[in-house]
Amino acid sequence: MEIRKIGVVGLGAMGAGIAQLCVEAGVETVGREVTAELGERARDRIAHFLTRKVEKGQLGEPERDTAVGRLSLTTDVGDLADCDLVIEAIVEELGPKQELFAELDRLTRPDAVLATNTSAFSVTEIASATTRPERVVGMHFFNPAPLMPLVEIVRAELTADEPFETAYAFGERIGKTPIRCHDTPGFVVNRVLIPLLNDCVRVLDEARVTPEDLDTGLKNGAGWPMGPCTLVDLVGIDVHVHASDALYEKTREPRMAPPPRLVAMRNAGLLGRKSGRGFYRYGAEG
């Protein structure tokens, strides 16, 4: 199926990144946020990163303007009615996701593909809120979506071949490297990465190593592009704790459970880069 128009629901860091990839790839994109202000904020974010590309000579100014112009904003889910593919990137809570998918099921064309960017929930459970679970897939992007090459294309229990391959082909079209997998807790990368990052946080206390030294260790001793503390700050302490909780609930493997140190940071509002403070300090507070 050819994707001519795409909807992205939720324009936070992930949704805005996904929308950026779509408009850069020449696809007409409708972005839906709960308020016009949040939508504008996402458009500004996209324009900012595309302007950086212009400044670095990676993109022409007219191409930037055309790309930004491909994004239309709405607060009304009804405006996604004629989209060929809708990617959901809203809050990581099952209830709101299922409600949204039930609504998308009612108002989009029967042949539209509905995708979720969830990292913590079962795609099958989200698909069960619709009357067309065969057209629901996972498209799991990594943070920051415009820079990380991977997208996991997740086949839920009832996903049919055609929408699954449509999502895979769309991932390639927007410049990603897709991989195919089934709907299991953590899919592929988080199943490995989350317990690994949790181990890293536990090592902070066990080895009495500083976040700076731990990051230096993994970067220089294991070739990581950024250290684990920097990475958890980037992902968001709350997002990481939530994903760990979800994996632990499903697998009952102790390494999946969020380390108490991270839970305490989350409870104290130290959420990483987005709150200005996590393992490190950022921005005005830095």
C-alpha to C-alpha distance for 40 and 19, rounded to whole angstroms: 13
Binder to ligand CAA among 95, 221, 223, 225 (CB under 6 A)?
225
Choose the stretch contacting ligand CAA; rule: CB under 6 A; options: 104-112, 163-171, 209-217, 225-233. 225-233
**119 has catalytic annotation:** yes
**72 has catalytic annotation:** no
Binder to ligand CAA among 52, 106, 180, 281 (CB under 6 A)?
52
Are the C-beta atoms of 6 and 174 separated by less than 8 Å? no
Binder to ligand CAA among 124, 130, 190, 244 (CB under 6 A)?
190
Q: What is the DSSP letter of 272?
A: B
Binder to ligand CAA among 10, 17, 171, 185 (CB under 6 A)?
17
Choose the stretch contacting ligand CAA; rule: CB under 6 A; options: 123-131, 231-239, 245-253, 274-282. 231-239
C-alpha to C-alpha distance for 217 and 188, rounded to whole angstroms: 25
**244 has catalytic annotation:** no
Are the C-beta atoms of 187 and 193 separated by less than 8 Å? no
Number of residues lying near ligand CAA (CB under 6 A): 18
Widest distance between CA atoms in the chain: 56
Could you say whether residue 235 binds ligand CAA (CB under 6 A)?
A: yes
Q: Is the dihedral of CA 9, 15, 18, 19 positive or negative?
A: positive
Binder to ligand CAA among 143, 165, 169, 179 (CB under 6 A)?
143
Q: What is the DSSP letter of 276?
A: T
Contact letters (x/-) for ligand CAA, 100-119, by CB under 6 A? -------------------x
Q: What is the DSSP letter of 15?
A: H
- Residue 117's contacts (CB-CB under 8 Å, 6 or more residues apart) are 14, 15, 18, 87, 88, 89, 138, 139, 140, 141
Q: What is the DSSP letter of 257?
A: S
Choose the stretch contacting ligand CAA; rule: CB under 6 A; options: 81-89, 102-110, 144-152, 258-266. 144-152
**190 has catalytic annotation:** yes
Are the C-beta atoms of 250 and 243 separated by less than 8 Å? no
Q: Among all residues, which ones are annotated catalytic?
A: 119, 140, 152, 190
Footprint of ligand CAA (CB under 6 A): 17, 49, 52, 119, 142-144, 146-148, 190, 193, 225-226, 231, 235, 239, 243
